Amino acid sequence: MTAVDAFDSEALLFDMDGVILDGWGTDEVVHARAVDDVLADRDLHASDDVRATLARNAYDDDFRAACETLDVDPAAFFRAREERSATRSVERLAAGTRRLCADVDAIDELADRAAVGLVSNNYDSTVAFVVDHFRLDAFAVARGRDLGPDGFRRRKPDPHYLNEALDALDASDGIYVGDRATDVIAAERAGLDAVFIRRDHNADLDLDVEPAAEIESLRDLSPLIEAR
C-alpha cells in the first residue's frame, strides 16, 4: 500500500466491476446475444463481421458504418442493443454468474465515517440491481451510465457521473477507488484523489497514470485514511 499525505474523506466513491463485483466486467457474450435479439426483433440479417462490430461495446464510426449496411438508425440500434444487454446482464447476475469481492464488507465500516457512493461505467439499471440484489445498503448513491450514445460518451474517463454522485452527496472532494487507468483519470478530472486497487485481473497491469495510492484490498482503505 502506498501512503498518502492527506485525504479529505468527505466522499468515498467506488467503481463497481472489478472493485465491488469480481472480474473486469460484463461478459462479451451478453452484447453478442443482445445484437441477435435486436436483429431478430427487426427481422434483419447481418454478416458475421457486421454482427461482431455491432456487438462491440462502443458507439463509434465502425458501429455507425455497420448500421448503415443494414439501413438502420445507429443511435436507435445502439440504444436497443444496450437495453437488451442490460436485461441480459441482470439475468446473468440473478443466476449467480458473478460474486461480490471478498473484501466488500469493509465498506460498511467506511460508511460510518463518510458518505459512500458507487459510480460505474456499467448500465445504471445493472448497478441498481447489484445494489439491491446484494443488499449493499452502505451506498448512499449508486450511479451507472445511461443507455444510448449520450451515456456512452459520458463514461469514464469523463467525470460526468462522478460529478453527479458528488452533487447527490453534497460533497466537493474525497476519493475514488477503481481498477483501471480510466478510473484514475476520471477521479482527477472530478477533483478526487484516485486510489487504484490491484486484483487478480489487473495484478500485472502496467498503469500509465499515477494514482494517489495503490491498495490490494478494500480493507487497506481504513488505515490509509487514518494515516492522515
Per-residue pLDDT of 180-205, as tens digits, reads 999 999 999 999 999 999 999 999 99
C-alpha closest to that of 121 among 26, 53, 207: 26
Q: Are residues 118 and 86 in the same domain?
A: no
What's the domain range around 87? Answer: 28-94
- Residues (pLDDT < 70) of the chain are 1-9, 227-228
Total domain count, the chain: 2
122 plus 173 within the same structural domain: yes
Same domain, 110 and 161: yes
Which pLDDT does position 7 carry in this prediction?
43
In this prediction, residue 8 carries a pLDDT of 44
Does residue 114 sit in the same domain as residue 183? yes
Q: Which sign, positive or negative, has the C-alpha torsion 56, 57, 58, 64?
A: positive
Domain boundary among 74, 94, 114: 94
Q: What is the pLDDT of residue 227?
A: 64
pLDDT at res. 128: 98
User: Does residue 4 form part of some domain?
Assistant: no
Query: Are 159 and 201 contained in the same domain?
Result: yes
CA distance 72 to 66: 9
